[in-house]
Structure 1
Amino acid sequence: MRLTAHTDYALRILLHAAVEPERLFSIAQVAAAHAISRNHAMKVVNLLGNAGLLETVRGRGGGFRLGHPAREIALGEVVRLTEPNMSPADCGNCLLQGACGLTGILRKAMAAFLAELDAHTLADAAMGTRLPFPLLQSS
């Protein structure tokens, strides 16, 4: 399964917050570091904030940080939140719908994929993650 750019950005942003959980990161910092448009980064931070995965702080000197400890955030939760369609194939528009042996196999494969992500937390992914030098400096 290929994850969307939206999910990729969400995972990157959460990793940044997990590496330094007490630090406020600005959207501009993270967007610039990953060559993500500021608009996309803002949408992702907003979604993650509304879900409680990030805490957002408004105003001058504001930014975002983790909303929960990284060990409490399952990677599968993030993928389910950010992926618009978890179907690996368009079975709904297929001539073989209802009479195809592939549907069950794909369903099991997707369940295994999500189960593996559910078995790992953001803390697992953050272990060994290092921020690029420009992000280590204060904003």
Structure 2
Amino acid sequence: MRLTRYTDYTLRVLIYVGLHEPRQSSIAEIARAYGISESHLTKVVHQLGRLGLIRTIRGRGGGLRLARPPADIVVGAVVRQTEDDLALVECFAGNACAITAPCRLRRALSEALGAFLAVLDRYTLADLIDGREGVEIAKLLDLPDPRIRETENPTSA
């Protein structure tokens, strides 16, 4: 099983924005932090907004924020929503194969895909950004320590 770059970027955006909360993030800063294209991230952020995972604020002082608490964003659900094709082999997509009827491979691969997604369903964004690992990721991305949350209005400076 291999996730697309699109899903990888989606998960990275969620991690970045989640670690940056309650401050707003921008596509430009996320692109710089990860060394990836702003145009790719624009597409990702647009879909995250449509899925209700990211809230986008336009205009001066705008940016990105999580639309839900990190504990409510399930990694498996995000993968299902962003992967165009989870058909591991042709017969998953309904294409004919000479051995489909008696083939155990199809059942084995279906079971493996189910197990893969079941593991991802056990993790939320909160699991990915909390604790020591979240602090280490924040440092690598040059973000403030996520253990220190702003208590003031993040848009006032």
Confirm or deny: 8 A CA contact 1:54 1:65 kept in the other structure.
yes
Q: Distance in 2 between matches of 1:46 and 1:7?
A: 13
CA RMSD of aligned residues (A): 1.4
Task: Name which of structure 1's ranges 75-84 and 31-40 shifts more when overlaid on structure 2.
Answer: 31-40
**Would the aligned equivalents of 1:33 and 1:135 in 2 still touch at CA under 8 Å?**
no
> Are the counterparts in 1 of residues 20 and 143 from structure 2 also a CA contact under 8 Å?
no
Give me the TM-score of the superposition, normalised by structure 2: 0.81
1:53 aligns with 2:53: yes
* Structure 1 residue 111, shift from structure 2 partner: 0.6
Distance 2:56 2:96 in 1: 40
Question: Match of 2:104?
Answer: 101
Which amino acid letter does the alignment assign opposite residue 24 of structure 2?
Answer: L
Q: CA deviation at 1:135?
A: 4.4
Count of aligned residue pairs for this structure pair? 136
Q: Secondary structure at the match of 1:65?
A: strand
> Secondary structure at the residue paired with 1:112?
helix
Shift of the alpha carbon at 1:93? 4.8
TM (norm. structure 1) is 0.90
State the one-letter code of the partner of 1:95.
A
Paired residue for 2:88? Answer: 88
Deviations 1:95-134 (A, max 9, x none): 3233311011111111111111111101001122222354
Which amino acid in structure 1 is aligned with residue 90 of structure 2?
D
Identity between Structure 1 and Structure 2 (%): 44
Residues 14-64 of structure 1: CA distance to partner in whole angstroms, max 9, x if unpaired?
001111321110001101221211110000000001111011111122110
2:90 & 2:34 partners in 1: Cα distance? 31
Which moved further from structure 2: 6-15 or 17-26?
17-26
Asked whether the 8 Å contact 2:26–2:63 carries over to 1, the reply is: yes
- Name the larger-Rg structure: 2
| Structure 2: runs of 5+ lacking an equivalent | 145-157
CA distance in 2 between counterparts of 1:104 and 1:38 reads 40
SS at match of 1:55: strand
Paired residue secondary structure (2:56): strand
Residues 12-23 of structure 1: pairs in structure 2 closer than 5 A = 12-23=12-23
| Separation of aligned partners in 1, 2:28 and 2:20 | 17
2:127 is aligned to 124
Does the Cα contact within 8 Å between 1:29 and 1:135 map onto a contact in 2?
no
Q: 4+ runs of 1 displaced by more than 6 Å?
A: none
